[in-house]
Chains A and B, each alone.
Chain A
Amino acid sequence: MNATAPQPPDSVSQQAKPAAAPGFRDVSASQAAPAPNPLAHLPIPFQGVDYAAKGYHVEATVAPDQVVAVAEQLDKEGLALDTITGVDWLAEGQMEVVYDYFHPAKALRVVVRTRIPRGQPEIATIQKVYPGANWHERETHDFFGIRFLGHPNLTPFLLPEDADFHPLRKDYAA
């Protein structure tokens, strides 16, 4: 944490720090052991992540042509689609597509990332596996211009119907 010139706000009293009551996550404790990976039986390079620090349980970075296979396997595991989004890494010339999944019965948040070249941002759609991806992919296309190959209706979703700009790209100027 970059604590430049930390000044305690006025309302903090100068008492000793109260002990964490039972039930509270003690976020200051670091986990000595690596986080477990409940999806280790799948042929996807998942890694366990410290949930208290990051907010999800496992993540994997895969190649763009594997996202549909990953979606099919996670569908068999019973996971639900949370959201799909993109991140524009302008400096690296890549766009990252992030797929979030969650399990409806147990605490399992899965993040699948992939990187595609910024000059030709194309990736297959997972809409046949998860119909809910239809809208998320349309929104990602709206914001970043990522083309989802095989999508039945990649028209503007949140932007006006005649929009031809992609506003969340880092080189977008209104």
Chain B
Amino acid sequence: MIVEEPSSTTGAPPRETFVINLGPQHPATHGVLRVKMTMDGEYVVRAEPVVGYIHRMQEKMGENRTYAQFLPNTSRIDYLSAMTYTHAFVGAVERAAKLQIPPRVEYIRVITSELNRISSHLVWWGAFLMDLGGFTPMLYAFDDREKILDLLEGITGSRLTYSYYRIGGLYNDVDDAFVQGTREFVKQMRPRLKMYRDLVTDNIIFRKRLIGIGPISKEMCRKYGATGPVIRGSGIPYDVRRVEPYSAYPDFDFVIPTFEEGDSMARYLVHMEEIVQSLRIIEQALDKLPDGPVMAEKVPRVLKLPPGDYCYAVEAARGRFAVRIVSDNKEIPYRVKLRTPCLSNLSLFEEASQGMLLPDALALMGSLDLVIPDIDR
């Protein structure tokens, strides 16, 4: 389809543009995302994301499932950081039911959430570099990720969509093999990060692809509600773990990596630094891991929350994930609202990608770290 548009600034002869579809089946969209791009040659005139191709009615299912039955759904919203999403939901229910959570549970939740964050960032790193054309880092990243998955499989039984947290605590306790294995993993991951830096971050081709590409200003982040590495790569140190501390995070000493430039390289560096900080948190949590039960006392078998609405927010790997439960004193919620980070992060893509070259627009989209079922729910 060729549309003739007159040039608005100079009165030059009209340009020809054409509309091309990126997706929904595309190796670089990381899921079923369709972007209707109006192109002027290789330049993007307008990129309009079309979503809904993996809409799985999670919020409608929330109105058809009891609180405990909804737990598997939470893992499948963003399957790469599934633990943190389950954390938000059980946190909301526990907040509403005023359950006192034992400290050991909070520490184990932090350890498993941070391991999940590292594995999510590793997948992002491998897939992002594949978008840019480098196939090797994916193999390294998945090798490290398999070690994390072995650890988590030992305690949860699942590799990807864990439903490990329960309302009031955990499914089961961690054993010594997990603690020892996690310590060894932390020890061997640090040299690997140095290797990744030498292989990728200091690579001149990589730097030329990303530095200065896709600048997102602080104001744009605020207006669109972007969170996670997007807002931290634009200079605002917003992290739910620091601003609205939850679980055991106030106990740990970690830095919120923030970079000022706002380009794709800044978002990349935020991700890599977050892996370093997650390793720090895991070490501190393992050192201070308290003993105790792994389930709260007096969790009712039939759970009904008092009427009203309750929110709980966590810092998932992609940004701020919040659950709002509206209850009318029945076993099933009246409404479950899932505030997902990728929806807000992608909503600024249309404005941010105007006038960019197509490969640069894809680098920008990769640096936003999208998981499409997170947008569609």
Contact = CB atoms under 8 A, between A and B. Distances in A.
A134 B226 CA distance: 14
A82 to B, nearest CB: 6
B324 interface: yes
Contacts of B290: 18, 21
B223 A81 contact: yes
A4 B302 contact: yes
Contacts of A23: 248, 250-251
A5 B300 contact: yes
Nearest to B249: A23
B276 interface: no
Contacts, number: 172
B238 A105 contact: yes
B301 A5 contact: yes
A80 B98 contact: no
Nearest to A168: B60
Most B CB within 10 A of own CB, among A83, A136, A168: A83
Contacts of A81: 223-225, 344
B28 interface: no
Given A100-B339, A132-B224, A167 B102 contact: no
Contacts of A28: 98, 100
Interface string B69-94: 00000000000000000000000100
Given A2-B329, A106-B243, A85 B222 contact: no
Contact of B52 (A6, A132, A159, A168): A159
B40 interface: no
Contacts of B329: 2
A102 B309 CA distance: 17
A55 B308 CA distance: 12
Interface size class of A (residues with CB under 8 A): 35 or more
Given A2-B304, A18-B292, A159-B52, A85 B98 contact: no
Interface residues of B, number: 71
A27 interface: yes
A126 to B, nearest CB: 11
Most A CB within 10 A of own CB, among B102, B168, B225: B225
A160 B54 CA distance: 11
A13 B224 contact: no
Contacts of A5: 300-302
Given A1-B300, A2-B329, A5-B300, A82 B52 contact: no
B25 interface: no
Nearest to B231: A104
A132 to B, nearest CB: 4
A6 B298 contact: yes
B29 to A, nearest CB: 16
Given A8-B298, A83-B339, A87-B334, A55 B102 contact: no
Given A11-B172, A159-B52, A55 B250 contact: no
Interface of B: 51-52, 55, 57, 59-60, 63, 92, 95, 97-100, 102-103, 106, 168-169, 172-173, 221-226, 231, 236, 238, 243-244, 248, 250-251, 290, 292-302, 304-306, 308-313, 320, 322, 324, 326, 329, 334-335, 337, 339, 343-344, 347-348, 351, 376-377
22 contacts: A1-B300, A4-B301, A4-B302, A8-B298, A17-B100, A17-B297, A18-B293, A27-B99, A54-B309, A78-B222, A80-B223, A81-B225, A83-B225, A102-B225, A105-B236, A132-B225, A132-B344, A132-B347, A139-B343, A157-B51, A158-B52, A167-B57
Given A8-B299, A18-B290, A83-B344, 19 more contacts: A2-B300, A6-B299, A6-B300, A8-B298, A53-B310, A54-B95, A55-B95, A55-B324, A80-B225, A81-B224, A82-B339, A100-B322, A102-B225, A104-B236, A130-B224, A135-B343, A156-B52, A157-B51, A158-B377
